[in-house]
Amino acid sequence: MPHLPSRLLASLVVSAALCGGPALAEMTKSLNINGTTGLIDMPSGDAQDDAAFTFSTAFVGPISRATISFQITDRLSGSFRFQTWRDWDTLFPGDSSKFNNRSFDIRYQLLKEGRYLPSLTVGLIDFTGQSVFASEYVAATKTFGDRVKVTAGLGWGRLGSYGSIGEPFGDRPLLDGDDRGTPNVDQWFRGDAAPFAGVEVKLTDTWTFKGEYSSDAYVLEDDERGLIERDSPFNFGFEYQRGPNTRYGIYSMHGTEVGFVLHLVLDPKNRATGGVMGAAPVALKARPSRTADPDAYDGGWVVQPDAGPLLRKNLAKRLAVDGIIIENLAYTAKTVQVRIRNNRIDAGSQAIGRTARALSHVMPASVEVFEIVPVVKGIGASKVTIRRSDLEALEYAPDNANLLRQRVTITDAGPVPANAVGDDGLYPKFRWGLRPDFRMSEPLKGDLGLRLSASYDFRPGLVLSGSIYGRVVGNVDRSGNPSDSVLQPVRSDSSRYSKFGSPGLERLTLAWFARPAPDLYSRVSFGYLERMHAGISGEVLWKPVESRLALGAELNYTKQRDTDGLLGFDEYDYDVVTGHVSAYYDFGNGFLGQLDVGKYLAGDVGATISVDRVFVNGWRVGAYATVTDVSAADFGTGGFDKGVRFSIPLNWAMGTQSNNTFGTTLRSSTGDGGARLDVDGRLYNSIRDYHSGALDPEWGRVWR
């Protein structure tokens, strides 16, 4: 593509800005080819809407990029980027660690745009990576009318490599091998600083023009490796917005290359389908007044020998429509306690509301108090106590959800009542399923295969379960080459497990879940705990239903499995005792923090800190970092274990009534340091779903 003179770029920008036309919708807070808020290659001062989750994929010459970004708060955002070069051997001959570059960005909006002031953002690019793209910047953006945005900024690192105006904060030190993968704090805002600028012009409601002056000289790709020719600092192009969720862009880059990008913008706060399709709730059945029908309130029915089985049968029939199973039922003349297992509804408050409505149709009028105990993994998670008269008084009242919550109590589940009526047909119970499954290991890489799973519930809390997974197609590393890690390859031999263990036994465990005491929960799992390790794992969790704080401890003894996906252990002959003490804290507004301190699978000792944002509809987005006594050099690429993770409820996208999710964890590298056992059934997230911190934000669904 011929060189684009700056005068031509300027004339295009001015012409687009001054052209006439009808008033347009508010300008979009657009993204650049790096998947972060910005122009084309440069950042801007804008920020996405709170909680925006974006996936971007871009192609510029031989460079491919895939980025996941999340607007953590209305000012703070983070990104994880995966980049590849098609001419790998030319770029990094003999150095496979740089074939795929993974990097983290973070940015914070210092100022929001006002009438006179621009938005102002400070950001760090690749601040814990291999320093290939390490940059820092300050960017300001101002909107003029409803059509034009202008951005100007100053960059350091790669963004300071073209058109430098000096070194305002001193020299930029080089990183040695031990520093790579750790926060390169000594480099931040040091070295050459260079200005960049750009403009966005909204041509129609769907088309936008962008032009920019770039401060990135692309020294590595152009001068050192010759993969591209950077003949011009000017980039320009057009973007097409198709609905609220997708945006496409085509650009002239560097005067020589053509760039393409696709952005997918998702809003975890709102369902893509607008709502969840399922059976409509039945109306509450109100009791006759005591004066009009005093006999209805006679409690003599409790002595009838068939009352319990009949009530349980009628209630089970009503709740089966919503996928709710009754574990057992206990009652007196004035109180009923029902323990339920919610197999379908994604919101615990909705399952509780559906159960309360069904109870109003089944229970005699003398029963005033409904105690609903959600059962998770065979143990009671909490007890939600609702007065029947409150339901009757508030069903059609304004703001009925908040008014009802003020009168409801959520307490410890307590033991199963001695007079509980169960169902002999519930246990033992065998279930199985065969379904396709996608395992994503990093952006643009994953496996599509089939998973055969089965479970056998002997009784509440005691379950034998397992799964077999077979790969059908995919592009993850299946070379089968042994790891060169100086640590025990507890994770870095994953390509060998992928190649030789498909199909293979993923898990085969016998697990026992219990409640040893009030506010205390326990788990013991024995068998083939995950794809790479087998043994025994024990966990206890202290979590009062109203408390923001929870404490836990886990102890494991494991042996590393053979890579063939079968039952042996001879290949590695490695066993280890690991364990952690954990603290969990609910900060409110959906933010959950977790700190784990202990010993990991490779024998290293350290701590993991993680923060997740959980949404009412089941979305979950978070990040974690682990630091242990393993040196950055011994850990390998990435320096230490860190990553991002997300989980998306299927009903958010499909609108069907389901509590299944799709999610994955994306790591900066697959090192052996900081690796923790991937045991199924850890307690905190499951138990918390029916505690106050999780029920209260979604309580409005109690009437749905």
Quick: pLDDT tens for 180-225. Answer: 567 888 899 999 999 999 999 999 999 999 999 999 999 888 777 7
Give the range among 15-24, 596-605, 669-678 with minimum mean pLDDT: 15-24
Q: Is 600 exposed, middle or buried (0-12, 13-18, 19+ CB in 10 A)?
A: buried
C-alpha–C-alpha distance, residues 461 and 378, integer Å: 4
Decide if pLDDT at 19 tops 60. Answer: no
Q: Are residues 627 and 611 in contact, defined by beta-carbon separation less than 8 angstroms?
A: no
Decide if pLDDT at 26 tops 90. Answer: no
Q: Are residues 401 and 520 in the same domain?
A: no
Is 174 part of any domain?
yes
Retrieve residue 145's tokens.
């009318």
Is 82 part of any domain?
yes
Retrieve residue 363's tokens.
């229970």
Query: What CATH number has the domain bearing residue 49?
Result: 2.40.160.40
Is 531 part of any domain?
yes
User: Could you tell me the pLDDT band of residue 655, with boundaries at 50, 70 and 90?
Assistant: low
Query: Which contiguous run of DSSP H or E holds residue 14?
Result: helix 6-18
| DSSP strands (E only) in 254-366 | 257-266, 324-331, 335-342
User: Could you tell me the pLDDT band of residue 682, with boundaries at 50, 70 and 90?
Assistant: very high
The domain boundary, picked from 374, 396, 425, lies at 425
Q: Are residues 28 and 47 in contact, defined by beta-carbon separation less than 8 angstroms?
A: no
Write the CB contacts of 14 (distance below 8 Å, at least 6 apart in sequence): none
Mean of the per-residue pLDDT values for the chain? 89
Q: Are residues 134 and 238 in the same domain?
A: yes
pLDDT at 62: 86
Q: Are residues 234 and 338 in the same domain?
A: no
Q: Are residues 108 and 235 in the same domain?
A: yes
Is 496 part of any domain?
no
> What average pLDDT does the segment 152-162 reach?
96
Decide if pLDDT at 102 tops 60. Answer: yes
> What average pLDDT does the segment 594-612 reach?
97
Q: Are residues 63 and 211 in the same domain?
A: yes
Decide if pLDDT at 475 tops 90. Answer: no
Decide if pLDDT at 23 tops 50. Answer: no
User: Could you tell me the pLDDT band of residue 97, with boundaries at 50, 70 and 90?
Assistant: very low
pLDDT at 702: 95
CA torsion sign for 477, 483, 485, 488 is positive
CA torsion sign for 563, 569, 575, 581 is positive
Q: How far is CA 567 from the centre of its chain?
A: 32
- Tell me the H-state helices in 501-559: none
User: Could you tell me the pLDDT band of residue 412, with boundaries at 50, 70 and 90?
Assistant: very high
pLDDT at 85: 77
> What average pLDDT does the segment 33-38 reach?
96
Indicate the SS3 state at residue 68: strand
Q: Are residues 420 and 537 in the same domain?
A: no
User: Could you tell me the pLDDT band of residue 129, with boundaries at 50, 70 and 90?
Assistant: low
The domain boundary, picked from 394, 425, 456, lies at 425
> What average pLDDT does the segment 607-613 reach?
97
The better pLDDT of the pair 515, 476 is held by 515
pLDDT at 638: 65
Range among 84-88, 572-576, 659-663 rated most confident: 572-576
pLDDT at 274: 59
CA torsion sign for 128, 129, 130, 134 is negative
Q: Which of 266, 332, 337, 259 is nearest to 300 (CA)?
A: 332
Q: Which of 651, 609, 666 is nearest to 35 (CA)?
A: 666
Give the range among 171-180, 380-389, 468-477, 523-532 with minimum mean pLDDT: 171-180
pLDDT at 121: 98
Q: Are residues 258 and 298 in the same domain?
A: no
The better pLDDT of the pair 239, 651 is held by 239
Q: Are residues 541 and 515 in contact, defined by beta-carbon separation less than 8 angstroms?
A: no
Q: Which residue has the tokens 């993770």?
A: 645
Alpha-carbon distances, residue 443 vs 54, 67, 667, 668 (angstroms): 12, 7, 10, 11
- Indicate the DSSP class of residue 139: E
- Tell me the H-state helices in 448-588: 494-500
Q: Which of 483, 602, 620, 449 is nearest to 533 (CA)?
A: 602
pLDDT at 18: 41
**What is the total residue count of the chain?**
704
Give the range among 324-338, 341-355, 634-648 with minimum mean pLDDT: 634-648
Q: Are residues 228 and 254 in contact, defined by beta-carbon separation less than 8 angstroms?
A: yes
Q: Are residues 209 and 13 in contact, defined by beta-carbon separation less than 8 angstroms?
A: yes
443 preceded by a cis bond (ω within 30 of 0): no
pLDDT at 92: 54
Indicate the SS3 state at residue 359: helix
Q: Are residues 220 and 349 in the same domain?
A: no
Decide if pLDDT at 94 tops 70. Answer: no
Residue 639's domain spans which residues? Answer: 508-693
C-alpha–C-alpha distance, residues 310 and 249, integer Å: 64
b/e map 192-227, b = 16+ CB within 10 Å: bbbbbbbbbbbbeeeebbbbbbbbbbbebbbeebeb
Indicate the SS3 state at residue 295: helix
Q: Are residues 198 and 39 in contact, defined by beta-carbon separation less than 8 angstroms?
A: yes
User: Could you tell me the pLDDT band of residue 477, with boundaries at 50, 70 and 90?
Assistant: confident
Q: Are residues 221 and 115 in the same domain?
A: yes
Q: Are residues 260 and 348 in the same domain?
A: no
Is 305 part of any domain?
yes
Residue type at 612 in one-letter notation: D
Decide if pLDDT at 660 tops 90. Answer: no
pLDDT at 637: 66
The domain boundary, picked from 387, 404, 425, lies at 425
* β-sheet bridge partners, residue 107: 77, 123
Q: Are residues 247 and 331 in the same domain?
A: no
Phi-psi region of 612 (alpha: psi -120 to 50; beta: other; left: phi over 0): beta
Give the range among 104-118, 247-261, 436-450 with minimum mean pLDDT: 436-450
pLDDT at 399: 93
Query: What CATH number has the domain bearing residue 346?
Result: 3.30.300
| DSSP strands (E only) in 112-256 | 119-125, 135-144, 148-157, 194-202, 207-213, 234-242, 246-253
> Taking the C-alpha atoms of 129, 133, 138 and 140 in order, what is their torsion angle to the nearest 10 degrees?
-120
Query: What CATH number has the domain bearing residue 520?
Result: 2.40.160
Is 599 part of any domain?
yes
pLDDT at 281: 85
Q: Which of 245, 146, 271 is nearest to 203 (CA)?
A: 146
C-alpha–C-alpha distance, residues 106 and 13, integer Å: 30
pLDDT at 200: 97
> What average pLDDT does the segment 162-176 reach?
91
User: Rounded to two decimals, what is the model's pTM?
Assistant: 0.89
Q: Are residues 553 and 540 in contact, defined by beta-carbon separation less than 8 angstroms?
A: yes
> What average pLDDT does the segment 470-485 reach?
86
Indicate the SS3 state at residue 288: coil
C-alpha–C-alpha distance, residues 689 and 24, integer Å: 44
- Tell me the H-state helices in 153-238: none
Is 201 part of any domain?
yes
> What average pLDDT does the segment 292-317 reach?
92
Give the range among 426-435, 550-559, 664-673 with minimum mean pLDDT: 664-673
- Phi and psi, residue 79, nearest 5°: -140, 150
Q: Are residues 329 and 373 in contact, defined by beta-carbon separation less than 8 angstroms?
A: no
> What average pLDDT does the segment 235-244 reach?
93
> Taking the C-alpha atoms of 468, 473, 477 and 483 in order, what is their torsion angle to the nearest 10 degrees?
30
State the total domains in the chain.
3
pLDDT at 383: 97
> By 3-state DSSP, what share of the chain in percent is helix, strand and coil, each rounded to 5?
15, 40, 40
- Indicate the DSSP class of residue 4: -
User: Could you tell me the pLDDT band of residue 273, with boundaries at 50, 70 and 90?
Assistant: low
Alpha-carbon distances, residue 52 vs 3, 29, 37, 41, 286 (angstroms): 36, 11, 11, 20, 43
pLDDT more than 70, % of the chain = 90
Decide if pLDDT at 563 tops 70. Answer: yes
pLDDT at 99: 53
> What average pLDDT does the segment 531-540 reach?
98
Give the range among 421-425, 502-506, 537-541 with minimum mean pLDDT: 421-425
Is 463 part of any domain?
no
- Indicate the DSSP class of residue 38: B
Q: Are residues 550 and 671 in the same domain?
A: yes
pLDDT at 413: 96
Decide if pLDDT at 312 tops 50. Answer: yes
